C-alpha cells in the first residue's frame, strides 16, 4: 500500500496515493485541453452538455484524450445518479445490480451510466442495457478506443450519438504539462524549473496522450532528488519511445498500414518513409512487407511492371536480414514505388471481372477454348481452335469470352508510357 508522503510528514492520517494525472483532471469543459472540434465555443458536444439534456453518447478515440474527463464533467451537470463500470472487469452481475436500483430511492431519476472500454462487452452484455436505454431510465455514456461501428452493438449504436476524440496537439498538451509542473512544485520546498526544450519534448513525445505527458512530469519530479532543473536531456530520456501509439489488434495498426499504402499511391516518398518508420519502430516487419508488395501490383502495376520483381527482391532481403537492417531494402522499395509512374488498370480490370463472376454472369466456355483432351486426343481440329502463333503478328480474331459475355470490357489501358506503347502495338496488329 502506497501512502501520500506529504500527508505523513504533516502528521495527518495516511491516504492512498493519487496519481497526478487524476489529481489534475479538469473540472470544467474550459479546462479540457484539445478537442476544440467538439468542445470549442460552438462545438456540438459543448452545446449538448450546456443544454442539460444529455443523450446517450459514445466517446471514441485514443487513450489520454479526455473521454473520461468529459464524462465526469457531464455527470456533475446532471441530477441523475452516476454509476461507473469498466468493461474490462465488469460483467452481467454488475449490470444487474445497477438495473435493480432503478425506480428505487437509490436512483429516483434514473441512472447516468459511464461505461468505459465498451468494446470489451460482448453482444449479450450490451443487449442487457438496451431495454433501459430505450425507456430512458439509463442514460449511457460509453467510451472506447476502438471504432464503435465495429465493436458496439447496432441497436445501442443507433440510439447513441458518437463523438470522436482526437490526439491532442503538442501545443495543447504543453498547457497541461505546465499545469502539472505547477502542482508538483507546490509539493516541494525547492521548486524545479524546466530547461528550454524540456516541456516541448514531453509534449511532442506523448503522441497526443495528455495522461502520458502528465505521468512523464510526475516521474521527472520523482527522479529529480535535490536537483533544481529538469533538463531537456532528462525529458528525452523518460519519453524516448513514448510517442508510439500502437496496438496490433487496434485501429492504429490498420490506420498506419493504410497511411503507408496511400502515401505510396499518392507518390509521396517522405510520407511513405514516415509510416514505414512507424511500422518498423514497433517491429511490424510483416505488415510493412505485405503493404509494399501489394502496392507494387495494385498502384504501380503495368506502368512499371519491373517494380514487382524489384520490390519482391527488397522484401526477401528484408525478411532475411531482419530488423534493424531490414529498414534499408524496405526504404529502397518505398522510394521506388512512391516515385514510380502509377497505373491501377490491372486492379480495376480484375475487380470488374470478379464483379461479373459474383453476379453470376459467367456462361459456357466456348468450344474452341475447351481442353482438347476432354473429348479425346486429336479433337483439336473439330474444336475449330485457331492457334495465334500460326498467324501474322501472333494474333488471329476469334471469340474467347462466353457467348453470354460477348463484348464485355474489363481492361482499359492506363495513361502511362508502357501501357500506351502496348496499346499502339495492338491497334496496329489488329487493323
Q: What is the pLDDT of residues 90-141, one digit of tens each?
A: 888 998 888 888 877 777 777 889 999 998 998 888 988 888 888 888 889 9
Residue 313 inside a domain? The answer is: yes
- Looking at residue 412, what is its pLDDT? 92
For range 9-17, the mean pLDDT? 54
Could you tell me if 157 and 178 lie in one domain? Answer: no
Residue 304 inside a domain? The answer is: yes
Q: Could you tell me the CATH number of the domain that includes residue 329? A: 1.20.272.10
Residue at which a domain ends, from 164, 179, 211: 164
- Is pLDDT at 243 greater than 70 in this prediction? no
Q: What is the pLDDT of residues 377-407, one digit of tens each?
A: 555 446 678 888 988 989 889 888 998 898 8
Residue 387 inside a domain? The answer is: yes
Going by pLDDT thresholds of 50, 70 and 90, the confidence category of residue 306 is very high
Share of the chain above pLDDT 70, in %: 89
Exposure pattern of 68-105 as b/e (b: 16+ CB <10 Å)? bbbbbbbbeebebbbbbbebeebeeeebeebbebbeee
Q: What is the pLDDT of residues 26-49, one digit of tens each?
A: 888 888 888 899 998 889 999 998
Residue 2 inside a domain? The answer is: no
Q: Tell me if residue 204 falls in helix, strand or coil.
A: helix
Could you tell me if 184 and 97 lie in one domain? Answer: no
Mean pLDDT of the chain: 85
Total number of domains in the chain: 4
Could you tell me if 320 and 379 lie in one domain? Answer: no
Residue 296 inside a domain? The answer is: yes
Going by pLDDT thresholds of 50, 70 and 90, the confidence category of residue 3 is very low
161-164 and 57-60 beta bridge pairing? parallel
Which residue has better confidence, 349 or 3? Answer: 349
- Is pLDDT at 228 greater than 90 in this prediction? no
- Looking at residue 244, what is its pLDDT? 53
Could you tell me if 352 and 403 lie in one domain? Answer: yes
- Give one DSSP letter per residue of 304-321, joined into a string: STTHHHHHHHHHHHHHHH
Instruction: Give 9: exposed, middle or buried? Use CB within 10 Å, 0-12, 13-18, 19+.
Output: exposed
For range 355-366, the mean pLDDT? 88
Residue with cell 498467324: 391
- Looking at residue 14, what is its pLDDT? 53
Going by pLDDT thresholds of 50, 70 and 90, the confidence category of residue 2 is very low
Going by pLDDT thresholds of 50, 70 and 90, the confidence category of residue 1 is very low
Could you tell me if 40 and 55 lie in one domain? Answer: yes
Could you tell me if 114 and 175 lie in one domain? Answer: no
- Looking at residue 375, what is its pLDDT? 54
Residue at which a domain ends, from 134, 164, 194: 164
Q: Could you tell me the CATH number of the domain that includes residue 208? A: 1.10.8
Residue 246 inside a domain? The answer is: no
Domain extent at residue 286: 251-339
Q: What is the pLDDT of residues 140-165, one digit of tens each?
A: 999 998 888 888 888 899 899 999 99
- Give one DSSP letter per residue of 80-149, joined into a string: SEEEEEETTT--HHHHHHHHHHBTSTTBTT-EEEEEETGGGS-HHHHHHHHHHHHTTSEEEEEEESS-HH
Residue at which a domain ends, from 164, 193, 225: 164
Could you tell me if 43 and 142 lie in one domain? Answer: yes
Residues 65, 166 contacting (CB under 8 angstroms): yes
Could you tell me if 40 and 125 lie in one domain? Answer: yes
Residue 362 inside a domain? The answer is: yes
- Looking at residue 12, what is its pLDDT? 53
- Is pLDDT at 223 greater than 50 in this prediction? yes
Could you tell me if 73 and 156 lie in one domain? Answer: yes
Going by pLDDT thresholds of 50, 70 and 90, the confidence category of residue 307 is very high
- Looking at residue 193, what is its pLDDT? 86
Could you tell me if 176 and 214 lie in one domain? Answer: yes
Share of the chain above pLDDT 90, in %: 31
For range 5-27, the mean pLDDT? 64
Could you tell me if 283 and 391 lie in one domain? Answer: no
Q: What is the pLDDT of residues 164-179, one digit of tens each?
A: 998 888 888 898 899 8
- Looking at residue 206, what is its pLDDT? 82
For range 411-427, the mean pLDDT? 92
Residue 117 inside a domain? The answer is: yes
Could you tell me if 160 and 39 lie in one domain? Answer: yes
Q: Which three three-digit cell numbers place residue 326?
A: 531490414
Which residue has better confidence, 107 or 59? Answer: 59
For range 67-92, the mean pLDDT? 85
- Is pLDDT at 5 greater than 50 in this prediction? no
Query: Rounded to the nearest 10 degrees, what angle do helices 269-281 and 285-295 cross at?
Result: 150
Going by pLDDT thresholds of 50, 70 and 90, the confidence category of residue 240 is low
Residues 296, 311 contacting (CB under 8 angstroms): yes
Amino acid at each position: 500500500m502506497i501512502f501520500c508522503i506529504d500527508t505523513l510528514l504533516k502528521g495527518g492520517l495516511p491516504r492512498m496515493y493519487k496519481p497526478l494525472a487524476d489529481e489534475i483532471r479538469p473540472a470544467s469543459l474550459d479546462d479540457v485541453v484539445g478537442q476544440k472540434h467538439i468542445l470549442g465555443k460552438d462545438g456540438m458536444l459543448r452545446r449538448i452538455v450546456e443544454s442539460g439534456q444529455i443523450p446517450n453518447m459514445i466517446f471514441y478515440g485514443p487513450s489520454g484524450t479526455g473521454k473520461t474527463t468529459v464524462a465526469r464533467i457531464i455527470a456533475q451537470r446532471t441530477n441523475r445518479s452516476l454509476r461507473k463500470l469498466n468493461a474490462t472487469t465488469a460483467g452481467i452481475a454488475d449490470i444487474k445490480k445497477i438495473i435493480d436500483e432503478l425506480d428505487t430511492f437509490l436512483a429516483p431519476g434514473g441512472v447516468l451510466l459511464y461505461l468505459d472500454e465498451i468494446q470489451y462487452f460482448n453482444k449479450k452484455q450490451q443487449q442487457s442495457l438496451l431495454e433501459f436505454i430505450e425507456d430512458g431510465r439509463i442514460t449511457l455514456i460509453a467510451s472506447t478506443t476502438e471504432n464503435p461501428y465495429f465493436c458496439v452493438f447496432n441497436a445501442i449504436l443507433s440510439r447513441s450519438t458518437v463523438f470522436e476524440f482526437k490526439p491532442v496537439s503538442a501545443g495543447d498538451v504543453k498547457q497541461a504539462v505546465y499545469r502539472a509542473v505547477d502542482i508538483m512544485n507546490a509539493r516541494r520546498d525547492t521548486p524545479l524549473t524546466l530547461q528550454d526544450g524540456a516541456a516541448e519534448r514531453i509534449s511532442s513525445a506523448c503522441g497526443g496522450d495528455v495522461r502520458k505527458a502528465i505521468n512523464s512530469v510526475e516521474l521527472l519530479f520523482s527522479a529529480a532528488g535535490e536537483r533544481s532543473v529538469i533538463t531537456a536531456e532528462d525529458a528525452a530520456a523518460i519519453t524516448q519511445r513514448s510517442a508510439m501509439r500502437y496496438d496490433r489488434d487496434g485501429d492504429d495498426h490498420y490506420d498506419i498500414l493504410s497511411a503507408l499504402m496511400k502515401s505510396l499511391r499518392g507518390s509521396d516518398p517522405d510520407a511513405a518513409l514516415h509510416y514505414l518508420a512507424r511500422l518498423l519502430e514497433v517491429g511490424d516487419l510483416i505488415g510493412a512487407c505485405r503493404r509494399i508488395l501489394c502496392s507494387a501490383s495494385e498502384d504501380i502495376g503495368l506502368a512499371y511492371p519491373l517494380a514487382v520483381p524489384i520490390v519482391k527482391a527488397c522484401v526477401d532481403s528484408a525478411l532475411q536480414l531482419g530488423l534493424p537492417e531490414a529498414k534499408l531494402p524496405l526504404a529502397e522499395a518505398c522510394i521506388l514505388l512512391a516515385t514510380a509512374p502509377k497505373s491501377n488498370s490491372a486492379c480495376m480490370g480484375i475487380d470488374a471481372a470478379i464483379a461479373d463472376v459474383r453476379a453470376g454472369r459467367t456462361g459456357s466456355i466456348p468450344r474452341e477454348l475447351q481442353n482438347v483432351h476432354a473429348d479425346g486426343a486429336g479433337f483439336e481440329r473439330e474444336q475449330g481452335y485457331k492457334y495465334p502463333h500460326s498467324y501474322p503478328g501472333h494474333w488471329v480474331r476469334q471469340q474467347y469470352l462466353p457467348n453470354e459475355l460477348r463484348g464485355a470490357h474489363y481492361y482499359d489501358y492506363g495513361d502511362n508510357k508502357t501501357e500506351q506503347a502496348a496499346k499502339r502495338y495492338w491497334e496496329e496488329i489488329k487493323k
